[in-house]
Amino acid sequence: MFISLNEERIVLHFNPSPFLKISGPDELYYVELREYPKNDDQSLYVEGRKIIGNGGVFEIPIEFYFDFEISVSKYVPKYGLKKIFTHRFNDYGKQVLFNLDTKNYDECLIWLTKVEEYSRINGCKPHINTHFDDINKKHLSYYQVDGVDYYKTYNIGRHPKSSTDWRTIDPRKEGVIWYGNWKTFWSYQHPRLWSNLTSEEIIDDILAL
């Protein structure tokens, strides 16, 4: 997704995690990813924040669904911080890719059903990619290859935590990825430990169904 403001140009997508690149006249910009708690109309929780330079990239490697908002602020002399861009995640009417990363045929079918449920609830246009050609070919999106601009990519599967994440190296925090000092995730793809979850629970967790 490409957004043009007065003087700034922004590239934004969620494939698979929030990604924002900004170009503009200012030396630095402040980017923040915030979460809306359930039943709250204010985005209270800060999930990630970064000061980036002109042409810089903001990327937070959370892949599963949560209700969040990304914003960009700049410094305006004699005013302070001015919010110049804000976008709340909403895939209604947008193309969303679901990679169903399982070699179990039955599980793949379960996940496919869940993807359809998610698409119905959120109104997105799903694209499916599985390890099984017959499933892929049954889906209409298989034949849509031109003009595809995914708004969001979901990787559905059982993904271990990143081996290079410094947050997991400390033995005090072994097995846990810390975010913002108050939340723990078991990997960037999962909101909780995936190893003992059922097929349904895996995809329900990731898509917040």
Partner 1 sequence: MSSIYGFFTGSHSPSISLIKDGKISFCIEEERLTRIKSGDNYDINCELSCIEAENFTGLKIIDADYRIFANPTPDVFARRITNNNYEKVSHHTAHAYGAYYTSGMEGKTITITYDGGGESTVMKVYLCEDGKMNLIQSHPLSSFGSLSHVWGFSTSSMRGYDQNGEGIWKMCKDEGKLMGMGPNGYYDETIYKMLSTVINYKDFRFYPSGSSSKTMFLGDMMKSHGYFNTQENMEVFSFNLQKLTEDLFLNFIDDLHNLYPDYKQLCFAGGLFANVKLNQKINELNWVDEIYIYPPMGDEGLSLGACIYKAVELGEITKPFELNDMYFGKSYTNDEVSQVSKNYNLKRTKYNSKDIAEYINQGGIVGWFQSGSEFGPRSLGARSILVRPTDISTHKILNKRLNRYDTMPFAPIVLDDKFDSIFTPVKSKYTSEFMTLCYNTNEEWIDKIPAVIQKSDKTARPQIVNKDKTPKFWEILNEYYLISGIPLLLNTSFNSHNQPIIENPEQAFESLKLGVIDKLIIEDYVYFT
Q: By the criterion CB under 8 A, which residues form the site for partner 1? A: 27-28, 30, 32, 34, 37, 44-46, 49-51, 73, 75, 77-81, 171-172, 180-183
Nearer to partner 1, 83 or 103 (CB): 83
Comparing CB distances to partner 1, the nearer of 11 and 28 is 28
Q: What is the CA radius of gyration of the chain?
A: 19
92 versus 182: smaller Cβ distance to partner 1: 182
Least Å distance, CB 56 to partner 1, is: 13
How far apart are CB 169 and partner 1 at their closest, in Å?
Answer: 13
Which residue number, 49 or 94, has a Cβ lying nearer to partner 1?
49
Contact (CB, 8 A) for 73 and 29: yes
Task: Work out how close the CB of 154 gets to partner 1 at its nearest, in angstroms, rounded to a whole number.
Answer: 25
Q: Which two tokens stand for residue 113?
A: 């059903």
Among residues 32 and 107, whose Cβ is nearest to partner 1?
32
CB of 196 to partner 1, least distance (A): 24
User: Minimal distance in Å, beta carbon 102 to partner 1?
Assistant: 33
User: Is the Cβ of residue 26 or residue 117 nearer to partner 1 in the bound state?
Assistant: 26
Task: Compute the least distance from the CB of residue 30 to partner 1, in Å.
Answer: 4
Q: Quick one: three-class SS letters along the chain?
A: CEEECCCCEEEEEECCCEEEEEECCCCEEEEEEEECCCCCCCCCEEEEEEEEECCCEEECCCCCCCCEEEEEEEEECCCEEEEEEEEECCCCCCEEEEEECCCCHHHHHHHHHHHHHHHHHHCCEEEEEECCHHHHHHCHHHHCCCCCCCCEEEEECCCCCCCCCHHHCCHHHCCCEEECCCEEECECCECCCCCCCCHHHHHHHHHCC
